[in-house]
């Protein structure tokens, strides 16, 4: 069965820094816990990303810059030669499949971690524990109270982000995305509810954005601002995060990180919120937006309508997660209006193996 070709602005060429993109669809970073126990990427991961190479660009899942940043079992890392070699196999597979530029998200979990997973006590801006249970090698456990980061911890972590960025480029990535969203370490510094510090990294907005801006500056100095992206999730209450000054916090952060970055990535972007338009106005460079989609199921159009609304509101590129997880050929399905696969939610995380990861069906060639 053939399908009528749909003309969508999502399918028009675009640019991301110095890169020409075939379309405006980006694979969003999604933790899928298929790495080895030490965080080394696997051949299965290379297969997974290569399957999704028709996207305009790919932002690979969060990799930790040091052992202390590990969140869950079998997440990826990039701070050893073995990690670098593993990721190199992934980027080579994507290039061999004809893929566009690939960025790597760098994430430190902060208080989202557990000694049973990393062998270390988690550290955070303040000793405030995650209120929710956390996945560990032995199952769900109550989160522990993190230790407050010292000035030396902060400096070391900034250096580790920069070193991981250099390794990412060595491994074949076009650049990296600094993850300052979704309740992880950098977001914990931004939010007053998790940052009770009284030094230069806590208190008012200028102090709470300092850690993220210093991480971004160090990464940009290491690999170039044109290779550096930043992800934020303004106002998103996730992983115990609460913000009281979102509308002032994020404009200050975006202004402080400068205009020269490869892109700004807004997660859970809502084009109806005045803050979205304000952040768009603060940046003349590339804006990647991740739409809010229903938690229960992927929309029948694969997220196309929500994505196009964000383009109309000023986004340049659209990052989609679960639609790409369940539909490696999402670009073809949007182009033809073909039905989309549903996510098999029970297999998305913490299971390992190909089920619900690399075994989603694709369209027959005649239907593309």
Tokens encoding 98 = 């004809």
pLDDT given at position 4 = 65
pLDDT for the residue 345: 79
Q: Mind listing the pLDDT tens digit for each residue in 146-171?
A: 999 999 999 999 999 999 999 999 99
pLDDT grade, residue 3 (50/70/90)? Answer: low
Q: Say if residue 269's pLDDT is above 70.
A: yes
Over residues 354-365, the pLDDT tens digits come to 999 999 999 988
pLDDT band at 273 (very low <50, low <70, confident <90, very high): very high
The confidence score (pLDDT) of residue 346 equals 76
Q: What is the pLDDT of residue 365?
A: 81
Pair 124, 188: CB distance under 8 Å: yes
pLDDT at residue number 368? 63
Residue with tokens 């769900």: 140
88-102, 163-177, 312-326, 343-357: the lowest-pLDDT one = 343-357
pLDDT digits (tens, 9 = 90+) for 160-219: 999 999 999 999 999 999 999 999 999 999 999 999 999 999 999 999 999 999 999 999
Going by the DSSP 8-state scheme, the letter that residue 74 receives in this structure is: T
Contact partners, residue 164, CB within 8 Å, separation at least 6: 63, 65, 78, 79, 106, 176
Alpha-carbon dihedral 303, 12, 9, 235, rounded to 10 degrees: 50
Q: Provide, rounded to the nearest whole percent, the portion of the chain with pLDDT above 90.
A: 92
Nearest-angstrom CA–CA distance, 74 and 33: 5
Note whether 233 and 267 are within 8 A (CB).
yes
pLDDT tops 70 at residue 33 = yes
Question: How far is residue 26's CA from residue 33's CA, in Å, rounded to a whole number?
Answer: 20
Which residues, other chains included, contact 363 with Cβ-Cβ below 8 Å and sequence gap of 6+?
329, 332, 333, 336, 338
**For range 248-255, the mean pLDDT:** 99
CA 352 vs. chain centroid, Å, equals 20
**One of 49, 184, 263, 360 is an active-site residue; which one?**
184
* Mean of pLDDT values over 270-283: 97
User: According to the model, what pLDDT value does residue 175 have?
Assistant: 99
Domains plus CATH for the chain?
9-367 (3.20.20.70)
**Distance from the Cα of residue 299 to its chain's centroid:** 21
Report phi then psi at 186, rounded to 5.
-65, -35
- What pLDDT score does 351 carry? 81
263 as an active site residue: the answer is no
Q: pLDDT tens-digit profile of 104-139? A: 999 999 999 999 999 999 999 999 999 999 999 999
- Calculate ∠ Cα 368-96-360, nearest 5°: 45
Nearest CA to 242 among 109, 150, 127, 128? 128
Whether the pLDDT of residue 254 is over 70: the answer is yes
Q: Is 357 helix (H, G, I), strand (E, B) or coil?
A: coil
Q: What pLDDT does residue 2 have?
A: 56
DSSP strands (E only) in 129-280: 133-136, 139-142, 147-148, 175-180, 228-232, 263-269
Q: Mean pLDDT, to the nearest integer, of 284-296?
A: 92
Nearest alpha carbon to residue 87 among 41, 31, 36: 41
Does pLDDT of 103 surpass 70? yes
Q: Within its chain, how far is the Cα of 2 from the centroid?
A: 34
User: What one-character-per-residue DSSP string does 8-70 give?
Assistant: -GGGS-EEETTEEESSSEEEPP-----S-TTS---HHHHHHHHHTTTSSEEEEEEEESSGGG-
Distance CA 341, CA 360 (A): 8
* pLDDT > 80? residue 347: no
pLDDT of residue 354: 95
Quick check: helix, strand or coil at residue 124?
Answer: strand
């Amino acid at each position: 069965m053939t399908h009528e070709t749909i003309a969508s602005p999502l399918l028009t060429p675009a640019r991301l820094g110095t890169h020409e993109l075939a379309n405006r669809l980006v694979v969003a970073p999604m933790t899928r816990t298929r790495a080895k126990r030490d965080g080394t990427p696997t051949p299965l991961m290379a297969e997974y990303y290569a399957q999704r190479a028709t996207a305009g660009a790919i932002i690979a899942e969060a990799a930790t810059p040091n052992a202390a940043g590990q969140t869950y079992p079998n997440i990826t890392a990039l701070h050893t030669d073995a990690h670098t070699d593993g990721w190199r196999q992934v980027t080579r597979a994507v290039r061999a499949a004809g893929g566009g530029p690939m960025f790597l998200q760098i994430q430190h979990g902060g208080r989202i971690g557990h000694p049973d997973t990393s062998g270390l006590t988690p550290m955070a801006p303040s000793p405030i524990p995650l209120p929710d249970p956390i996945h560990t090698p032995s199952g769900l456990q109550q989160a522990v109270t993190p230790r407050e980061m010292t000035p030396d911890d902060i400096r070391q972590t900034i250096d580790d982000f920069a070193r991981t960025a250099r390794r990412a480029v060595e491994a074949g990535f076009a650049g990296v995305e600094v993850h300052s969203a979704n309740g992880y370490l950098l977001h914990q510094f931004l939010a007053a509810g998790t940052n009770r510090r009284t030094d230069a990294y806590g208190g008012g907005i200028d102090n709470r954005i300092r850690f993220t801006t210093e991480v971004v500056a160090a990464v940009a100095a290491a690999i170039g601002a044109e290779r550096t992206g930043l992800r934020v999730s303004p106002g998103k209450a996730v992983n115990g995060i609460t913000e009281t000054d979102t509308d002032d916090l994020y404009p200050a952060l975006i202004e402080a990180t400068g205009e020269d970055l490869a892109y700004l990535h807004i997660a859970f972007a809502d084009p109806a919120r005045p803050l979205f338009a304000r952040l768009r106005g603060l940046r003349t460079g590339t804006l990647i937006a991740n739409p809010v989609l229903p938690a229960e199921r992927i929309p029948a159009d694969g997220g196309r309508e929500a994505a196009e609304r964000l383009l109309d509101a000023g986004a340049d590129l659209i990052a989609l997660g679960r639609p790409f997880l369940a539909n490696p050929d999402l670009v073809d399905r949007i182009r033809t209006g073909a039905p989309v696969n549903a996510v098999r939610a029970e297999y998305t995380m913490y299971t390992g193996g190909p089920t619900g990861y690399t075994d989603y069906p694709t369209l027959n060639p005649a239907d593309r």
